[in-house]
């Protein structure tokens, strides 16, 4: 498998493990020193995979989620590093049954360690977030 395809599969694994709450599997998509910037969604910058997993469990551990990433723009920068931008859409079903829909981009850095690609940095930017019913003229 070529490196670009491996990075695409890595991002697919990120979405699947997030939505199925496979936290052990999700931890494996990150380098130990990953830096995740969630300020575009009102969150913090978190350094370290274990710290990010703690943050993630606190934020969405009990929330049903659906994440989809599309149209990857992946650039191999060296034999062991790459960057990528992914269009994303997510849905979070809150405890009361209402949904929040979000749309934006993941801007990421990747590093190949021991033959495996991992996410070494991720910044989530948002274009639109909200309740689609509240925005609907019919809702």
Q: What is the DSSP secondary-structure string of 68-86?
A: EEEEEEEEE-SSSEEEEEE
Task: Kindly tell me if the per-residue pLDDT of 27 is higher than 50.
Answer: yes
Q: Which two tokens stand for residue 9?
A: 């599969």
Task: Kindly tell me if the per-residue pLDDT of 135 is higher than 90.
Answer: no
Close Cβ partners of 43 (under 8 Å, ≥ 6 residues apart) = 55, 59
Note the pLDDT of residue 128: 78
Of 46, 34, 32, 30, the closest CA to residue 118 belongs to: 30
Residue 127 and residue 107 in contact, taking contact as beta carbons nearer than 8 Å: no
Residue 83 and residue 74 in contact, taking contact as beta carbons nearer than 8 Å: yes
Q: Which residue has the tokens 């910044």?
A: 123
Q: How far apart are CA 119 and CA 81, in angstroms?
A: 10
Note the pLDDT of residue 131: 59
Average pLDDT, the chain: 91
What is the percentage of the chain residues whose pLDDT exceeds 70? 94
What are 61-119's pLDDT values in tens digits? Answer: 889 999 999 999 999 999 999 999 999 999 999 888 888 899 999 999 999 999 999 99
């Amino acid at each position: 498998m070529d490196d670009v395809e491996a990075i695409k599969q890595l991002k697919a694994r990120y979405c699947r493990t997030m939505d199925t709450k496979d936290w052990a599997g999700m931890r494996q998509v990150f380098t130990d020193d990953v830096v995740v910037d969630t300020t575009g969604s009102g969150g913090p910058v978190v350094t370290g995979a274990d710290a990010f997993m703690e943050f993630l469990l606190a934020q969405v551990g009990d929330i049903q989620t659906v994440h989809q990433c599309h149209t990857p723009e992946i650039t191999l920068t060296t034999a062991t590093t790459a960057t990528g931008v992914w269009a994303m859409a997510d849905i979070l079903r809150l405890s009361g049954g209402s949904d929040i829909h979000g749309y934006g981009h993941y801007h990421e850095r990747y590093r190949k360690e021991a033959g495996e690609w991992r996410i070494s940095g991720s910044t989530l930017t948002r274009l639109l977030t909200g309740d689609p019913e509240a925005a609907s003229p019919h809702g």
